[in-house]
Amino acid sequence: MRIGEAAKASGVSAKMIRHYEAVGLLPAAARRDSGYRDYGDSDVHALRFIRRARDLGFSLAEIAGLLALWRDKARASAEVKRLALAHVEALERKARDLSAMASTLRHLAAHCHGDARPDCPILEGLAGGGG
Amino acid sequence: MRIGEAAKASGVSAKMIRHYEAVGLLPAAARRDSGYRDYGDSDVHALRFIRRARDLGFSLAEIAGLLALWRDKARASAEVKRLALAHVEALERKARDLSAMASTLRHLAAHCHGDARPDCPILEGLAGGGG
DNA sequence: CTTGACCTTCCAATGATGGGAATCCCCATC
DNA sequence: GATGGGGATTCCCATCATTGGAAGGTCAAG
């Protein structure tokens, strides 16, 4: 199939498929006489793998590692688990950081009367507060 | 003071101070005869404002809006509160998304025995699992 | 033989930050 | 007054993932 169909079947845009090939995440696709890229089911499978991993917040570098493990039938699951759990911790850390930001800001907002007066603890907090 | 001192006093790197000026977040700084930028206490104050807002996850575009409100003595606090609460919701949404990713991945990892066997539900989940 | 959908490559922008080069200014010391 | 060094200037490039567009080639249907 051509790149457009592969894109539709995998949920990865044609633009990104070419990009992933360019940065070495995917091997160079087979070409027809016309020069068009030609994909098979296994390629779509790999693309879906990439898409799911992206949805889970893995970076392309991490995905390259996961793909190598995925394609290596002899690899140990321990390595995969290690990568996955390290990523889980990074995700949870980021989530905590964002929550902390949100609650700080919500706290500032709670003390802002939010009417026509110019008095605003939010701006004061940003301007002068500690931290 | 020169840019290096202003950087130290505000916690914003000299590189970023120039960048903020270049993208219009800050007005062009005063210059000495030598061409060096010259900063006063109020400039440092503004830089600290920016830094705090960045720490709270505001984008530079959002900060531009907050700065305008901050400098406008007559503005209503309602507008500031509206911006702040909208940002709080965006932060909380992102935090929830990351938490969801983490728990999905943690769930997959929990079913991976993590030993020398190649069997791995994490990779299977990435390769074939539902959306 | 034209139309239109699809494909190709290449270049550039996004947003925030950082690295580094080449050059210049300022100040202290000899 | 020459020199050395630290700080300043501008400019270009890199990151990371993705998207947009331009200029052109290919293919199937009318």
Angle CA B26–B55–A122, to nearest 5: 80
Q: How near does any CA of chain B get to the CA of A33, in Å? A: 31
pLDDT 10s digit of each residue in chain B, 131 long? 999 999 999 999 999 999 999 999 999 999 999 999 999 999 999 999 999 999 988 999 999 999 998 988 888 889 899 999 999 999 899 899 889 888 988 998 999 898 898 989 999 888 875 54
Q: Which of A130, A102, A105, A98 is nearest to B80 (CA)?
A: A105
Instruction: Tell which residue, A40, A56, A45, has the closest CA to residue A12.
Output: A45
A67-100: pLDDT as tens digits: 998 988 888 899 899 999 999 999 899 899 889 8
SS3 B97: helix
CA B80/CA B75 separation, integer angstroms: 9
Strand D bases contacted by the protein (CB, 7 Å): 7-10, 16-20, 25-27
Nearest residue to C24 via alpha carbon and C1' = B34
Q: For A12 and C12, how far is CA from C1' in angstroms?
A: 22
Q: Of A69, A14, A23, whose CA–CA distance to A43 is shortest?
A: A14
